[in-house]
Amino acid sequence: MLKHITLAAAALTALVAAAPTPKSLHQFTLKTIDGKPMPMAQYKGKVVLLVNTASMCGYTPQYEGLQALHDSYKAKGFTVVGVPSGDFGDQEYGSNAEVKQFCESKFGIKFPMAEKAVVKGPKAIPLYKWAAATLGEDKTPQWNFHKYLIGKDGRLIAAFGTKTTPTSPEVQAAVAKALATGN
Dump pLDDT digits (tens) for 23-55. 889 999 999 999 999 999 999 999 999 999 999
Active site residues: 57
The model carries a pTM of 0.87
Report DSSP state, residue 114: B
Residues 6+ apart with CB under 8 A from 23: 154, 155
Cβ–Cβ < 8 Å for 80, 70: yes
Burial class (CB in 10 A: 0-12, 13-18, 19+), 22: middle
Considering the chain, what is the average pLDDT of its residues?
90
Domains of the chain: 23-180 (3.40.30.10)
Q: Which residues of the chain have pLDDT under 70?
A: 1-22, 182-183
